[in-house]
Chains A and B, each alone.
Chain A
Amino acid sequence: MSPLSYRTLFIGTAPAGLIGLDELLRELYQAGVTPDATDLDDKLIAGIKRNNFVPRSAHKDYALALRSEFTTYHNALKQGKTPQPRNYGTWEGHPREHIPWFPAIAEELCNGCGACIEVCPKNVFKKTADNKVIVVDPFDCIVGCCFCKSPCLPKAIMMPDRTMLDNYRHQQGMR
């Protein structure tokens, strides 16, 4: 039996590693579920809960993120495309998506100035209609870089500590 897929999604403003998401999307599509189904949120939450812990208080945020994923997946198949998780390449020989290095934004601190968008060469950030900045492509973030913090006056951007990478290298016997 092949292992279940593993992907990280942003749930609300925090990243969460999800097991079996790709299998769930395929299962719902094959069962004829469509993005406008009234019980889609319930099906997605129930399905993802089979392999992941989803706190009740976070159901709404999970449903929003999962619905967006399912809609993208469904529309791609309807257009005759094969939905493929994006290939983010590798970092020191390991799949980029296995490395939890990306920014997180404290929504209550962000003043929407957009300096981080200007400074990031990888388009990791995007401005929302209500003038807030969100992380849209976490795995495009260059591992080891936290330069986006430098122009952020309200200190709204949080990045992992560099020691996390050193620990990862150590555990993987990379150095």
Chain B
Amino acid sequence: MAAKTDLSSMLSISAQEKQIIQEFEQLESVDEKYLHLFKIADALPELEAGLKTEENQVKGCQSTVWFFATFQDGRMRLQADSDSMVIKAISALIVRLVEGRPPAEVLNVNLNFLDEMSIWKLASRQNPGLAAIIGHLHAIARAKLDDCSITELDAHVTP
């Protein structure tokens, strides 16, 4: 069973984004940055085959990418995988950002921090593949929020 998230020591999303940006700023060349991305991708545990389902697959990204989310005490536990090393690395960074956060906070996550890593010229919001990934993640968080609202409503009407 996963350990409970220590909320007091948890950084804000923007602080974690800054950490990631600094991590990449230290690397001078694009090749070094890519090597680091590949290491991040390699370190992300492979999603088990049974979880690589149609439902977990992001629609609209040309690479195949899956997200599997569970919630413990209202906080997201996220696993991800992709057949593309760069997309897998970006997914790993997303996992880093959202892990242990409530769904309402996950809705604030975007990929603008990627633009500050000085690797790609195309802004992440103009990249349909990345937009699909973040859209998928937000949909998971939104569904959880809706689910919670219904449960709370049920609790009120139950005699």
Chain A interface residues toward B at CB < 8 A: 115, 118-119, 121-122, 142, 144-147, 149-153, 155, 157, 161-162
Contact = CB atoms under 8 A, between A and B. Distances in A.
Given A121-B119, A150-B62, A145 B85 contact: yes
A61 to B, nearest CB: 27
B121 A153 contact: no
A36 to B, nearest CB: 39
Interface stretch (B3-11, B126-134, B147-155): B126-134
A150 B130 contact: yes
A108 B37 CA distance: 32
Given A122-B30, A150-B87, A162-B83, A155 B120 contact: no
Contacts of B30: 121-122, 142
Given A151-B129, A162-B85, A119 B62 contact: no
A149 B84 CA distance: 10
A51 B79 CA distance: 51
Interface in B52-89: 61-63, 83-87
Nearest to A165: B85
Which of B85, B122, B126, B128 has the largest count of A CB atoms less than 10 A from its CB? B122
Given A119-B120, A119-B122, A142-B31, A150 B85 contact: no
**Size band of the interface chain B makes with A:** 20 to 34
Contacts of B83: 161-162
Nearest to A154: B62
Contact of B128 (A144, A145, A153, A161): A153
Nearest to A118: B122
A111 to B, nearest CB: 13
A118 B126 CA distance: 10
Given A144-B85, A155-B62, A121 B121 contact: yes
Contacts of B61: 150
Contacts of A157: 62
A146 B128 CA distance: 15
B38 interface: yes
A151 B87 contact: no
Which 8 pairs show the lowest CB-CB distances between chains A and B? A150-B129, A118-B122, A147-B86, A149-B62, A119-B122, A121-B30, A151-B127, A144-B85
Nearest to A153: B128
7 contacts: A118-B122, A119-B127, A150-B84, A150-B128, A151-B126, A155-B62, A162-B85
Given A119-B121, A149-B129, A144 B87 contact: no
A146 B127 CA distance: 14
Nearest to B132: A150
B113 interface: no
Nearest to A156: B62
Contacts of B122: 115, 118-119, 151
A144 B38 contact: yes
B34 A142 contact: yes
A147 B30 CA distance: 14
Contacts of A161: 83
Contacts of B63: 146, 149-150
